[in-house]
Amino acid sequence: MHPPGPAGAIEVPSLLASRAKINDKIENTLGCQYNERRDMKNILAIENVRKSFKVGFIPQKKEILKGISFSVAEGEIFGYLGPNGAGKTTTLKCVLGLIYPDSGRIELVGRPHLDPRAKEEVGFLPENPYFYDYLTASEFLDFYAQLFQLKKDVRQERITALLKLVGVDRAADLQLRKFSRGMLQRVGLAQALINEPSLILLDEPLGGLDPLGRKEIRDIIIRLKDEGKTVFLSSHILQDIEMICDRVAIIVGGRILNQGKLTDLISEKILFTEVTISGIDEKDLAAFGESLSVLSGRTLLKIFDEKKIQDVFDLARNRKGKIHSLIPRTQTLEDLFVDTVKPK
Amino acid sequence: MGLVLVLLAISFMGLKLKLDRIQRKKVPGSSIIYIPSGKYLKLATFGYSSLVADIIYIWAIQYYSDQTIPNKFDYFVHIFSIISELDPKYVDPYEVGALIAFYDAKDIALALKILDLGFAKNPSYWIFPLEAGHYAQLYKKDFALAKEYFKKAMDIPGAPAIAKRLYANASFRVNDVRTAWETWLEVYKTAPDEQIRKIASNHLYRVKAAVDITTLEYGVAKFREKYGRNPLDLSQLIRAKILPLIPKDFDGKDYLYDPKVGDIKTQVVPWKR
Amino acid sequence: MKIRVIALNTFKEAVRDRILYLLLFFAAAAIILSRILALLTVGDRTKIIKDVGLASISFFGALMAILIGTGLVYKEIEKRTIFTLISKPIHRYEFLLGKFFGLILTLFIMLACMSVIFLALVFFHTFKIEWALLAAIVFNFLELILITAVAIFFSSFSTPILSSLFSLGFYLIGHFSWSLETLIKKIRPGVARTLIQVLYTILPDLENFNIKTEVVHGLPLPASLFLYSTAYGLIYAAFILALAVFIFQRRDFI
């Protein structure tokens, strides 16, 4: 950030280079259309899926999924968001064949989703995973590997590699009952990758991990994308989604209210700028924007009009005030989310 | 805390000893008598009927060894028929039941009843009629009944040869000389060794002797009737046209006749031949 | 074969379950203590030992089948390990059958252990190895196969406590249904009688597998009994499992 200079207009740089600029850069380096995904294959396609359950002692029909449709293109990281109870986990269970939808179509890796062959290329990590606690980590991975009918040496190789990747290789021969929540999460991820799947479905994969753990998982997910795999993750930790996802869908009350590329959904328009100033009376600043707080002589000013920022800078210079920080705020995913979820 | 535990333990142990000494009126055989019949009990055993039979049998042994229980034989047949229903082929209860009935209750009819039950359920087990015959013969001195039992026993394939001999003997004892003679003859002819043959021939001797002596005594009595005195010797009976001939014993020897008393005896003791 | 993978895993799970060893201990204790019971009898002591031994193996075997079997599928659903499993390329029926065979394998081994202890004790008394007793145990195993199928069936949709009660009910009815035959003879021909006849053929007849008494008394058994009983047991078990697969296939795992 640029401190106020002695003379001349301050050029307010876009501190956060707009996403569009970064994208352009990547486009030029990769030489491909980053944003053009329309002609890529859909690895997961959900069409008008409905599901209701009978709940209660006197069974009453409760509709959980009210006709949802979306698709996940090959090679992208897809985020599935929604408040609790919106139907995220139900959607995933439909995809995996744990639940049978009342109507609609689901296509998985180009096959009808109930075909076991489709599952050959899929990996799944459930929310709050609970695994066979009487097995050791190696035995656990070996068990699933055998279900893919992998040969013994292949299994051995992959198990060692995966345990290392997720960071539990030192506990390879420890019974799962002795694992902490975070370790179970990691082993769960390893299990989801045992068959080198092309589509990985993760249900709240970052819950229960410390910040370092979250970063490690995020890095793994990005690496998977680099390897050409597709990752579908359902979560409500928006910061992480925002950081790694290419496209999102927001489900509320069993309906998809919003979906699309993150860059399309979140405008890069600067909503307002937060400026911290000292040395100038709060009253004098009122003309330029909303005063959010005053602390030890520093006023936090929320300025909506970009033009007024320049005015504030001039004022500070004239009155010998000091500008401590200048933070433009664009729309975040959280904003979008709250807007979408808020009842209209 | 430890002291509390010890005190509590001592008190309840002491109370238990006291409780044991308090006499409580026992209804004899109360646990078993209310079960209607073995058939229904079998339903409740769910496939473990032989085990339950074993347990009831063991219980019955303890129960009937207890001399303090009054009227314990009132339910004797009931209990043993339950065991029989649960495991009809279990031989010990019938045999031991009969023993208990005889030695404890001094009731031979009861013992025979139990053995009859065993035989009814197991028509191929010769042991039951054989034992029943023994009981009848030895303790009841009822040779007619014994004879029936021995016949049943000997007709079962696999029965020991002695059954036949006992049958023959019992027949003799009820004066069924014809059956006795025929049976002993069979035994004699089919004897597997010298010893059996000798026994058979001894018995045949005896049977013949019995028949002959009866005939001779009849002759003597007739003579006395006619002439008012005993004949001097047996040949007189022929001359007096009372008997066509004087039978000889099985070995071809003469019978001994004492004219003073008028009785006829064998020369030898049958089993000392 | 994927069923085999599940079966071996189930075997591992069952074999690490403490209940199994508790029951094995009690069975062994019962077999050995029969010796003391035998002392109280008058007459044939070996019969008591054989009866108690066979009854223990039968009873504890059934208990193992029910107690472990009713938890097998339920635990996977309750603990949601089934979610991960179904996400793999495996049919639901392969999962059920795998559970079934895993438990069968476990029971086989447990039964073998109990048999060894039992035959050893009998040998100790009669100084010969009575192989005929194994016939009774083999038949018992057939019964266990059927009970396991039933336990797995209930486990696929009901809680362990209810499943255990139902399985126990099946066991009791199975040892009861022979009495319907006597009932049929006593009723005049008519609707009631036909109804009971139908019931009699549908209800499981576990007494078909009960040759304990015959074996202990050394009675001969017709070869046709072996053949038909085995077929009956296996086909009935297959029926129960098919029913279980049918229900399990349609289920939503909420």
Per-residue pLDDT tens listing for chain C (254 residues):
889 999 999 998 888 888 889 999 999 899 888 888 888 888 888 999 999 999 999 999 999 999 999 988 998 888 888 889 988 999 999 999 999 999 999 999 999 999 999 999 999 888 888 888 999 999 999 999 999 999 999 998 889 999 999 999 999 999 988 888 888 888 888 888 888 888 888 888 888 888 888 888 888 888 888 899 999 999 999 999 999 999 999 888 87
Residue of B49, B58, B91 with shortest CB distance to C37: B58
Domain span at residue B266? 175-273
Which conformational region is residue B167 in: left (phi greater than 0), alpha (psi within -120 to 50 degrees), or beta? Answer: alpha
- Other beta carbons within 10 Å of A334: 12
Does the residue A29 lie in any domain? Answer: no
Whether residue B152 lies inside any domain: the answer is no
CA distances for B198 relative to B121, B160, B171, angstroms: 37, 18, 19
Identity of the residue in C9, C79, C253 whose CB atom sits nearest the CB atom of A130: C79
Question: Smallest Cα–Cα separation from C226: which of C138, C108, C130?
Answer: C138
Touch test A–B: 3 Cβ pairs or more under 8 Å: no
Residue C65 near residue C147 (C-beta atoms within 8 A): yes
The reply to whether A283 and A312 lie within a common domain is: yes
Model confidence at A15: pLDDT above 60: no
Q: How many domains does chain B have?
A: 1
Q: Measure Cα distances from A38 to A72, A73, A260 in Å.
A: 11, 8, 12
Closest CA to C140 of C165, C168, C175, C173: C175
Do residues A217 and A323 both lie within one domain? Answer: no
How many interchain CB pairs under 8 A, B with C?
54
| Same domain membership, residue A190 and residue A249 | yes
Those residues with Cβ within 8 angstroms of residue A157's Cβ, 6 or more apart along the chain or in another chain: none
Chains that touch C (3 or more CB pairs under 8 A): A, B
Domain containing C135 equals: 2-175+210-249
The dihedral built from the CA positions of residue B205, B208, B211 and B213, taken in this order, carries a sign that is negative
Q: Is the pLDDT of residue B128 over 70?
A: yes
For tokens 């039941």, name the residue. B97
Instruction: For residue A63, tell me if it sits in a domain.
Output: yes
Whether A258 and A284 map to the same domain: the answer is no
- Do both A146 and A52 map to the same domain? yes
Q: Strands A199-203 and A230-235: what pairing? A: parallel
- Residue C100, by phi and psi: left (phi above 0), alpha (psi -120 to 50) or beta? alpha
Q: Coil, strand or helix: which one is C87?
A: coil
Q: Is residue A110 part of a domain?
A: yes
Statement: residue A23 has pLDDT above 60: no
Same domain, A254 and A171: yes
Q: Which H/E stretch holds residue B257? A: strand B256-258
In eight-state DSSP terms, residue A175 is B
> Are C252 and A53 within 8 A, CB to CB?
yes
Residues A258 and A323 in one domain: no
By three-state DSSP, how is residue B84 classified? helix
Do C41 and B48 lie within an 8 Å CB cutoff?
no
Cα first-last separation, chain A? 39
Domain ranges, residue A237: 42-265
Q: Which of A241, A265, A289 is the last residue of a domain?
A: A265
Residue A210 and residue A69 in one domain? yes
Residue A39: what pLDDT? Answer: 46
If we measure between CA atoms, which residue out of A260, A258, A280, A225 comes closest to residue A77? A225
Max CA distance (Å), chain A: 77
Does residue C201 lie in a domain region?
Answer: no
Of A12-21, A91-100, A108-117, C132-141, the range with the lowest mean pLDDT is A12-21
Write the CATH number for A199: 3.40.50.300
A56 touches chain C (CB under 8 A): no
Distance CA C123, CA A232 (A): 65
Query: What is the sign of the dihedral through the CA atoms of B233, B234, B238 and B242?
Result: positive
CB contact under 8 A, C87 and A201: yes
C-beta of residue A169 within 8 angstroms of C-beta of residue A190 = no
Q: At a CB cut-off of 8 Å and minimum separation 6, what does B36 contact?
A: none
Q: Are strands A230-235 and A322-330 parallel, antiparallel or unpaired?
A: unpaired
DSSP β-bridge partners for residue A255 = A252
Beta bridge partners of A125: A202
Same domain flag for A240 and A280: no
SS3 A290: strand
Residues A96 and A243 in one domain: yes
Do C37 and C52 contact (CB within 8 A), yes or no? yes
User: Cβ contact (<8 Å) for C210 and B90?
Assistant: no
Q: In what order do the strands lie in the sheet with A77-81?
A: A122-125, A199-203, A230-235, A77-81, A247-252, A255-261
pLDDT by residue (tens digit) across B147-189? 999 999 999 999 998 999 999 999 999 988 899 999 999 999 9
The interface predicted TM-score of the complex, written ipTM, equals 0.86
Question: What is chain B's Cα-based Rg?
Answer: 30
Mean pLDDT of chain A, nearest integer: 82
State which of A240, A265, A290 marks the end of a domain. A265
The CA distance from A167 to C220, in Å, is: 66
The model's pLDDT over C171-206, given as tens digits with 9 standing for 90+, comes to 999 998 888 888 888 888 888 888 888 888 888 888
Q: Which residues of B touch C (CB under 8 A)?
A: 43, 46-51, 54, 57-58, 61-62, 87, 89-92, 95-96
A14 has a pLDDT exceeding 50: no
The answer to whether C47 contacts B92, with C-beta atoms less than 8 Å apart, is yes
How much is the pLDDT for C62? 94
Contact check, Cβ <8 Å, A53/C254: yes
Rounded CA-CA distance B28/A282 in Å is 105
Interface contact flag, C172 B46, Cβ < 8 Å: yes
Residues pairing with A234 in the sheet: A80, A203
End-to-end CA distance of chain C: 28
- Touching, A vs C (3+ Cβ pairs under 8 A): yes
| 3 state DSSP class of A104 | strand
Confidence (pLDDT) at C8: 92
Between B91 and A9, the higher pLDDT residue? B91
Helix %, strand %, coil % of chain C (to 5): 80, 0, 20
| Per-residue tokens: C126 | 């009669």
How many domains is chain C built from?
1
Evaluate whether residue A278 is within a structural domain.
Answer: yes
Q: How many domains does chain A have?
A: 2
Domain co-membership, A233 together with A308 = no
Task: Name the more confident of B11 and A280.
Answer: B11
User: In the predicted model, is pLDDT for residue B54 greater than 90?
Assistant: yes
What residue has token string 């799970």? C13
Number of helices and strands (H, E) in chain A? 12, 14
Residues of B in contact with C40 (CB under 8 A): 58, 61-62
Structural domain contains residue A31 = no
Distances (CA, A) of C120 to A322, B103, C38, C39, C140: 97, 38, 16, 18, 19
- What stretches of A266-320 show up as alpha helix (H) in DSSP? 282-285, 306-319
The beta-carbon neighbor of C252 closest among A100, A122, A201 is A100
- In chain A, beta strands by DSSP E: 42-55, 60-73, 77-81, 103-108, 111-112, 122-125, 199-203, 230-235, 247-252, 255-261, 270-278, 290-295, 298-303, 322-330
Residue A14 lies in a domain: no
In a domain, B121, yes or no: no
Looking at the domain assignment, is residue B247 inside a domain? yes
Collect all residues of chain B within an 8 Å Cβ-Cβ radius of residue C215.
none
Domain membership flag for residue A5: no
Q: How far is C245 from chain B (nearest CA, A)?
A: 29
Supply C112's token pair. Answer: 């073998």
Nearest to A132 among C2, C13, C89 (CB): C13
Contact A178, A137 (CB under 8 A): no
Task: Give the whole-angstrom CA distance, residue A100 versus residue B15.
Answer: 66
Residue A143 lies in a domain: yes
B83, with CB counted inside 10 A (0-12, 13-18, 19+), is buried
Per residue, the 3-state secondary structure of B168-221, as one string, reads HHHHHHCCCHHHHHHHHHHHHHCCCCHHHHHHHHHHHHHHHHHHHHHHHHHHHH
Question: Which of A64, A93, A189 would best serve as a mutation to test chain C binding (most C beta carbons within 10 A)?
Answer: A93
Q: Is A304 on the interface with C (CB under 8 A)?
A: no
Q: Do A96 and C83 touch (CB under 8 A)?
A: yes
Q: Which of A143, A189, A198 to mutate to test the interface with C (most CBs of C within 10 A)?
A: A143
Residue A160 token pair: 């060692």
Which residue, among B229, B273, B218, B231, has the nearest Cα to B249 in the 3D structure? Answer: B273
Please check whether residue A276 is in contact with residue A337, taking contact to mean a CB–CB distance below 8 angstroms. Answer: no
Q: Answer yes or no: do B89 and C58 touch at CB < 8 A.
A: no
- pLDDT tens, position by position, A227-267: 999 999 998 778 888 888 999 999 988 898 888 888 888 77
Q: How many CB pairs under 8 A join A and C?
A: 73
A261 with A275, same domain? no
Optimal mutation site among C15, C17, C20, C87, interface A, most CBs of chain A within 10 A: C87
For residue A162, the distance in angstroms to the closest alpha carbon of chain C comes to 17
DSSP A136: B
